[in-house]
């Protein structure tokens, strides 16, 4: 089976200094496009949903489609629940077959974040091979329904990261280092690469124990992306970019075919546009050919 543990997949990425693309979807068409692109590139890949589409489509439906598509391919692949602030919904998604769960307690105080993240970690680890991602500090911007004003963003304290990981029991760690969700308000966002590198060293020296996650991956320059990977980013989240591709390619197709009522052709157009964009990301992140 191609469905693997995210920790295993990302530890390899971390050791070999590339990142695995973690792509947010809201539709089955996007899921198919991502898997086809990754297969063509022989790349490991992570499919993720935030909470709103997971509730809308139902986690059972997402898991069923994911399994049907993922089981027949040879590349390593995971299904991740992104930015969930509801412990019970984390448990529900783990129960029905998500392979990786993010509990986002970054809005809570340190002790409460640890306590609730630990509850999710213990639950997921008891079920079996389900890994858990936690976040410390606040990634600014808009992600799903979690809104954080840029000026309220707090970066992750490297000194607290090790304690957070040990006490919360997480497998993957998303530290806030200046990246933002949504569309960047400036062309030159201030990213604290040094802080990322310091956190990586604290957690993963001499061996990689807790791979790091980069949130807010849309809209950064290619050199910034590579710098993030060089400083320890192993899971690279892309959400906003794919929303734009979905909406823009839909609009483009419908504008060009105003009297055609064939949804299948529209789906094909959107799928192709999404697939091409995923191929771009896989090449940029360095995960091409890393499936084995």
Q: Which residues, at least 6 apart from 81, have a Cβ–Cβ distance to it below 8 Å?
A: 48, 49, 51, 54, 59, 89, 90, 93, 98, 100, 101, 102
H/E segment holding residue 96: helix 87-96
Minimum distance between the CB of residue 78 and Zn ion, rounded to whole angstroms? 16
**Binding test (CB under 5 A) with Zn ion, winner from 91, 116, 215, 290:** 215
Closer by beta carbon to Zn ion, 2 or else 101: 101
> Has 82 been annotated as catalytic?
yes
80 binds Zn ion (CB under 5 A): no
Q: How far is CA 123 from CA 3, 119, 136, 209, in A?
A: 20, 6, 20, 20
Closer by beta carbon to Zn ion, 33 or else 102: 102
> Which 38-57 positions form the footprint of Zn ion (CB under 5 A)?
none
Minimum distance between the CB of residue 240 and Zn ion, rounded to whole angstroms? 10
Closer by beta carbon to Zn ion, 131 or else 249: 131
Minimum distance between the CB of residue 236 and Zn ion, rounded to whole angstroms? 11
* Identified catalytic residue from 82, 104, 144, 171: 82
Closer by beta carbon to Zn ion, 80 or else 277: 80
> Which 119-158 positions form the footprint of Zn ion (CB under 5 A)?
143
Minimum distance between the CB of residue 143 and Zn ion, rounded to whole angstroms? 5
Judge if the upstream peptide bond of residue 206 is cis by omega within 30 degrees of 0: yes
- Contact indicator for 13, 234 with CB cutoff of 8 Å: yes
Residue 290 and residue 268: Cα distance in Å, rounded? 27
Residue nearest to Zn ion (CB): 215
CB atoms within 10 A of CB 80: 24
Sign of the Cα torsion 83, 174, 46, 277 reads positive
Note the residues at the interface with Zn ion (CB under 5 A).
143, 215
- List, by residue number, the catalytic residues: 82
């Amino acid at each position: 089976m191609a469905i693997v543990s995210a920790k295993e997949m990302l530890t390899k990425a971390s050791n070999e200094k590339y990142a695995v693309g973690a792509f947010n979807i809201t539709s089955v068409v996007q899921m198919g496009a991502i898997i086809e692109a990754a297969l063509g590139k022989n790349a490991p890949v992570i499919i993720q949903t935030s909470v709103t589409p997971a509730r809308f489509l139902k986690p059972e439906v997402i898991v069923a489609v994911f399994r049907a598509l993922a089981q027949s391919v040879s590349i390593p692949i995971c299904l991740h629940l992104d930015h969930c602030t509801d412990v019970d919904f984390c448990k529900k998604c783990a129960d029905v077959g998500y392979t990786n769960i993010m509990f986002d307690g970054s809005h809570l105080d340190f002790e409460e974040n640890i306590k609730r993240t630990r509850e999710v970690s213990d639950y997921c680890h008891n079920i079996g091979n389900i890994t858990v991602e936690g976040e410390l500090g606040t990634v600014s911007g808009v992600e799903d329904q979690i809104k954080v004003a840029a000026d309220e963003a707090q970066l992750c304290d490297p000194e607290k990261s090790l304690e957070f990981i040990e006490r919360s029991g997480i497998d993957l760690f998303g530290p806030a280092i200046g990246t933002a969700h949504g569309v960047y308000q400036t062309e030159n966002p201030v990213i604290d690469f040094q802080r990322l590198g310091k956190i990586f060293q604290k957690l993963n020296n001499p061996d990689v124990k807790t791979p790091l996650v980069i949130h807010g991956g849309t809209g950064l320059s290619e050199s910034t992306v590579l710098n993030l990977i060089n400083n320890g980013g192993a899971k690279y989240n892309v959400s906003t970019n794919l929303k734009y591709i979905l909406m823009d390619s839909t609009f483009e197709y419908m504008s060009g075919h105003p009297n055609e009522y064939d949804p299948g052709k529209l789906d094909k157009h959107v799928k192709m546009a999404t697939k091409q964009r995923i191929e771009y990301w896989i090449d940029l992140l360095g995960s091409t050919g890393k499936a084995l």
